[in-house]
Amino acid sequence: MMKRPLSAVFSLLAVATASCSAPATGDNRSPAVSDAANQPFQTEEQASFDEPWAIAFDQGTGTLFVTERKGAIRFREPGGRLGSVTGVPKVDYGGQGGLGDFIFAPGQVSSVLDRRTVYLSWVEAGSGDTRGAVVGRADMVCEAQSSCDLRDLKVIWRQQPKVSGRGHFSHRLVFSPDGRYLFIASGERQKMQPAQDPASDLGKIIRIPVDSTGNPSGPAERYTLGHRNILGLRFDPQGRLWELEHGPRGGDELNLVQPGANYGWPLVSNGSHYDGTPIPDHSPDDGFAAPAISWNPVIAPGDMIFYTGDLFPQWKGNVLIAAMLPAGIVRLGIDGTAARELGRYPTQHRIRSIAQAPDGSIWVVEDGKGLSASRLLRLTPAGGE
Ligand SMILES: [Ca+2]
């Protein structure tokens, strides 16, 4: 848990902007505090997108792909040229829904971006006023300049049941390091109780076995339960899976993902309901997997990475979280199965998604409607590389 005095310092720092030249006011005794006038990184704007949700680098070429929630996939080549992807499925846009995640099948590292196997998630309308997340696999073919095309798109998973509302789809995707399993975060769609129902996909992490061609080789299984709205889903450098989810009023949490574990939502949470109704906190003997760290007040995470690059050597192995409230980047250290906060770096706007480039630079995209509110930023160490 965060200690109260640090939260007070953080909220003061959050009002400063990156361009502020005021002298540092942080508590220099604490390595956890970084004020905006003394950021460890400098930022360069690279492009802007409209309501971006996910960013992902093609590791072989350094081309960055961006999903926009209304249903577009665009890309930025390392030289700065922008392109777009055709063949994107129709999405059910609105609320928190639309186009979601975009990832590459592992092991594709050719230096020419000609053909890739990709996976994407989006929201699909059902009968009546219902909808649900789906995941598709496609061959992405890039034959023309500044253009790629999704071919043979196949839906490989549908969140069941489809329900009303437009929130908490989660639909983050990640491959296991050995490439044998695709994991899907399946949010509880703001319905709460289904997160505890083993027969519902809502509030679960889903695991799908895949063969060497990247196609499912067996049925999807519900791997864990008791989740709320997972927006970060990543493997650490040791091959362990972690998830980062939104609590209600308070109670955002980072969890180490263990097969079959129940993470407690909505029966326990280190936050309370929005109307103030208390929820029992996680406790050691309640039978639920307790978070490695939780936040109250929240950080409103959008995404996370485990940093493994050389450009920020002091951050190797740390978790970097894209945070929306307060806006910034939150840095965690992992020690065994515990996590602790090591730094907060306030930013001008909410950060939706974060990725590590092949050169070790950190790229983030802001959260907002309209191009001016959603810049793509490259972060490199302050004072030059
Ligand atoms: Ca929990």
Record the pTM.
0.90
Note the pLDDT of residue 6. 35
Q: Judge whether residue 144 has pLDDT over 70.
A: yes
- Single-letter amino acid, residue 247: G
Note the pLDDT of residue 37. 61
- Ligand 1 centroid to Cα of residue 291, in Å, is 6
Q: Judge whether residue 25 has pLDDT over 90.
A: no
* Cβ neighbours around 274 below 10 Å, total: 8
* Cβ neighbours around 138 below 10 Å, total: 21
Is 168 marked active-site?
yes
- Ligand 1 centroid to Cα of residue 266, in Å, is 8
Asked if residue 345 lies in contact with residue 41, where contact means CB atoms within 8 angstroms, the answer is yes
- Ligand 1 centroid to Cα of residue 298, in Å, is 14
Note the pLDDT of residue 22. 30
Number of H helices, E strands in the chain: 1, 24
Helix (H, G, I), strand (E, B) or coil at 26: coil
Average pLDDT over residues 29-56: 78
Note the pLDDT of residue 36. 54
Note the pLDDT of residue 29. 30
Q: What is the pLDDT of residues 303-332, one digit of tens each?
A: 999 999 999 999 999 999 999 999 999 999
Nearest to 38 by CA among 385, 382, 384: 382
Q: Judge whether residue 4 has pLDDT over 80.
A: no
Contacts with 216 (C-beta within 8 Å, 6 or more apart), sequence order? 156, 157, 182, 208, 209, 210
**Alpha-carbon distance 293 to 254, whole Å?**
6
Helix (H, G, I), strand (E, B) or coil at 7: helix
Contacts with 246 (C-beta within 8 Å, 6 or more apart), sequence order? 168, 228, 229, 231, 252, 298, 300, 301
Average pLDDT, the chain: 91
Q: Judge whether residue 293 has pLDDT over 60.
A: yes
Average pLDDT over residues 362-369: 96
Percent of the chain having pLDDT more than 90?
Answer: 87
Note the pLDDT of residue 24. 31
Note the pLDDT of residue 371. 83
- Ligand 1 centroid to Cα of residue 233, in Å, is 15
Q: In angstroms, what CA-CA distances link 284 with 268, 287, 288?
A: 12, 8, 8
**Ion ligand 1 — residues with CB under 5 Å?**
263-264
Asked if residue 292 lies in contact with residue 304, where contact means CB atoms within 8 angstroms, the answer is no
- Ligand 1 centroid to Cα of residue 111, in Å, is 41
Nearest to 364 by CA among 382, 342, 379, 381: 379
Q: Judge whether residue 13 has pLDDT over 60.
A: no
- Single-letter amino acid, residue 33: V
What domains sit in the chain, N to C, each tagged with a CATH number?
Answer: 39-381 (2.120.10.30)
Cα dihedral angle (335, 341, 342, 345), rounded to 10 degrees? 150
Contacts with 8 (C-beta within 8 Å, 6 or more apart), sequence order? none
- Ligand 1 centroid to Cα of residue 237, in Å, is 23
Note the pLDDT of residue 28. 31
Q: Judge whether residue 221 has pLDDT over 70.
A: yes
The residue whose two tokens read 């704007």 is 45
Percent of the chain having pLDDT more than 70?
Answer: 90
Q: Judge whether residue 361 has pLDDT over 90.
A: yes
Q: Judge whether residue 17 has pLDDT over 80.
A: no
Q: Judge whether residue 372 has pLDDT over 90.
A: no
Helix (H) or strand (E) holding 11: helix 4-14
Least confident of 11-20, 80-89, 347-356: 11-20
Out of 168, 171, 282, 349, the active site residue is: 168
- Ligand 1 centroid to Cα of residue 242, in Å, is 13
- Ligand 1 centroid to Cα of residue 263, in Å, is 4
Least confident of 188-197, 202-211, 363-372: 363-372
Cα dihedral angle (35, 41, 46, 48), rounded to 10 degrees? -30
Confidence class for position 384, pLDDT limits 50, 70, 90: low
Asked if residue 233 lies in contact with residue 270, where contact means CB atoms within 8 angstroms, the answer is no
